[in-house]
Chains A and B, each alone.
Chain A
Amino acid sequence: MNWTKKDLLGITELSKDEITLILDTAESFKDISKREVKKVPTLRGKTVITLFYEPSTRTRVSFEIAAKRLSADTINVSSSTSSYVKGETLKDTAKNLESMQPDVIVIRHNMPGAPHMLSKIVNSSVINAGDGAHEHPTQALLDLFTMREKKGRLDGLKFVIIGDIAHSRVARSNIFALKHFDSEIVCCGPPTMIPPFIEDLGVKVEYDINRAVKNADVIMMLRIQKERGGVSYIPSINEYSTIYGLKQDQVKKAKKDVIIMHPGPMNRGVEITGEVADGPYSVILDQVENGVAVRMAVLFLLTGGEA
């Protein structure tokens, strides 16, 4: 399996072999974060810019740590502190950044397709760190890595994703990724938050959370995307929490060795109770830990080797 891509824009453009290669490569990089010297010289001399037009804690820090552990230099640009507030277009910002010869630009933007546009105008590798409600490929990859680590496989699982599916790029990327494997995918949430025709992607839709979680191997909870108008799709947060929040009662209906995932940030007491989030089935912090390894693998594959 040879890696040939310059950019990582979405899961849709990855083959099953490419996904597996990223996960396998990440295995080797995971050990580095457990050592006393958490650094290898692999990407010495490379420059990674993280360009974030939306708020982020986990993803931005994760990319930055991943790049630094590979000895790359990192520079963060946030929209609030950039010339964006002075009216510069994304295209101009990108061209200007490129003049400083970065090797990778990691971009998060509220407009779907922004990373794709960027990849056409710059020579640097572009990584999509979330574009609107479209895709968030590295999140799906770290989710798959965590599932594979905990379950030992990606086939034959019942994967249930619950919440604001319609506005979730995490849901979309995870569905696209898991479609390569022989697992059952169930989407659950209020009808207003389930996009029409989502069954065409080969997933099942279930509106009753108790039925959805039955015998589940993996339960992934999503938060309501308030920044994308999510709240207007439900009568009230309280009602949503009562009907679609994950509580111990639901966890008991799943398989005995179920894992509970959440891409973060969590709204405790809304889509997930504190008891479940901090409980023995939760792998939420493992996801964060694995995020660094997966992003190290992605940075390595995109910049390493001759295309």
Chain B
Amino acid sequence: MKKRSFSRIISQNRIIVMILLLLAELVVFSLLSTPNRSVAEVFSGESIFIKPKNLRNIINALPLSVFLTTGVALLMISGRLDLSTGANGTLCSMLTAFFLREGVPLIPTLLIVMVVGAFIGFINAALVNELRVAPFIGTLATSSLATGFTYLIANKKTIDLTNPILKAYGKEVVLGFFPVSALVAIIIMIIAGIVLHKTHLGRKIYLVGGNPQASMLSGINPRKVSYMLFTLCGLFSAFAGITFVARQQSANMQGISAARFQGITAAVLGGISFGGGSGGMAGAFVGLLILNTFSNGLTVIGFSPFLQNIAQGLLLIFALTLDYFQKEQSQKILK
């Protein structure tokens, strides 16, 4: 009995639970980053974590994770998955720097890179829809392809970014602290959220994620939705890559490939379950804030990168546990 009501509370107030978790993170990291771990020190401004300089670090990490999460969140609601976003974005960042160095003008460069990103997404869609490969495997394969091309182009070197406009996009801030790129990313995420929640296209994403068969028999084409979302996810990876190179002012082989699971973790933390059909964009945003705050907080209190990996794995397991409770609860509703 007790366990069931607990899972009901969690499943019905998932977003509130997540916001509480975010607040808890803020409190804990504020405390832990003071010299003597006392509340008084937090209020006297001795907490490193809530110093403006550090909060800016968290904001600076936003543009990338927003782009990576938005596409993956849409895909996951439709019941699919993309593991190639990190590798795709890395290739796109490399291509951007490469074409600009070779003297291609900015606009054509951006267009080509966006087409490449979207095309990788399209290949993912083709693998999943035509060859019926599980998204997990199919997108891992394209991920490997993208990484290979990145290495070929980079040839073990870093390519510096030369284009002043793109540099400005990476560096400029509004209101004295908020990066332009983060603003762009958040605007795109909001648009994606509006499309998801207010338009018939967004509705189709939920319906296809909930039951592709029934959707097909009701005049919705799940293949079309799948192609569109994979391609869109690829395009968003390209945005992430372009943003990355603009902010770093150079492209390297590692790029954002480490961010492979970032979008998925954020989405699951934000209440989008594997299997599709539920969750929303606001949740995904809260999810990525939790994730970003977590890695930043761990760095601030001096966790080594190795320990951080472990901690992030635990965070994902935590998110999956919440997901489990939610599913369990929905099972219980059935008589």
**Do A and B belong to a common assembly?**
no
A positions within 8 Å CB-CB of B? none
B positions within 8 Å CB-CB of A? none
